[in-house]
Amino acid sequence: MTEKMNKKEDPIVKETLDKLLKVINEVHFGTVTLIIQEGKIVQIEKNEKIRLR
């Protein structure tokens, strides 16, 4: 399989994956939601809770 064909089959580009990993690493308590359209990630939502003790 050529690299060109592989890129067409892989809907997650490196830039998107890097952004997703950054958001995941930033959240201590909360959720990360991916919005997907036509098999591609179009939005990343971060909802973080701040705990007061």
Q: Structure pTM?
A: 0.68
pLDDT value at residue 22: 96
Strands (E), 1-53: 30-37, 40-48
- Taking the C-alpha atoms of residue 20 and residue 33, their distance in angstroms, rounded to an integer, is 10
DSSP 38: T
pLDDT at 44: 97
- Domain locations in the chain as residue ranges: 11-48
pLDDT digits over 7-39, tens only?
555 657 899 999 999 999 999 999 999 999 998
pLDDT of 19 = 95
